[in-house]
Chain A
Amino acid sequence: DAGITQSPRHKVTETGTPVTLRCHQTENHRYMYWYRQDPGHGLRLIHYSYGVKDTDKGEVSDGYSVSRSKTEDFLLTLESATSSQTSVYFCAISEATGSSYGYTFGSGTRLTVV
């Protein structure tokens, strides 16, 4: 969708290497989220951010870290990639929380760890 981009779109990396995925938004939305999508598991929340330098863990945060130094960028880092982290990663943004606001999703990053 316009306003949110993820990079790279595809990546193949080796086990044990660090990997950083980027989510960039031009909507000035406060809330940003990283999900992973796996068959049979739906979307699972990894980390989320409710403002610059304010982040929190989701349900599957082990092995991942995030940073948000600017409103528009939310980075997801796999500190030492493992094969279990092969997945499709989606970033989402939201204008507000605790209300009727839904998410806008990015196009996803397909990560393969070999």
Chain B
Amino acid sequence: AQSVSQHNHHVILSEAASLELGCNYSYGGTVNLFWYVQYPGQHLQLLLKYFSGDPLVKGIKGFEAEFIKSKFSFNLRKPSVQWSDTAEYFCAVRDDKIIFGKGTRLHILP
């Protein structure tokens, strides 16, 4: 069965710091990978997705993620975070349905 692991449960950064959130998946076949964001009190929104082609994927709000097949990883990055990036971030993998990681709470200090 597929699974998704997010290494960091809670991350605290200052504004302008660089961000990298780890995500590893276990699935041997062709994968579709996603990062979702959930702002406080809101529902999940799609940040970016990978299904083929360039392994470096650009998303909204300056986020990007790199698919490294050999490492089964799909880490999320942002070079300079803002206070408004405070949210919970979920990595997900899709075969016939989407399986989510347990989430990483990101708290940005102003």
Contact = CB atoms under 8 A, between A and B. Distances in A.
Interface stretch (A10-18, A42-50, A60-68, A71-79): A42-50
A41 to B, nearest CB: 6
Contacts of A106: 43
A99 interface: yes
Nearest to B50: A100
Interface residues of B, number: 23
Nearest to A31: B97
Task: Categorize the interface residue count of chain A.
Answer: 20 to 34
A33 B109 CA distance: 35
20 contacts: A33-B98, A35-B100, A40-B9, A42-B102, A42-B103, A43-B44, A44-B100, A98-B94, A98-B95, A99-B51, A100-B32, A100-B49, A100-B51, A101-B94, A102-B34, A102-B46, A103-B98, A105-B43, A105-B44, A106-B43
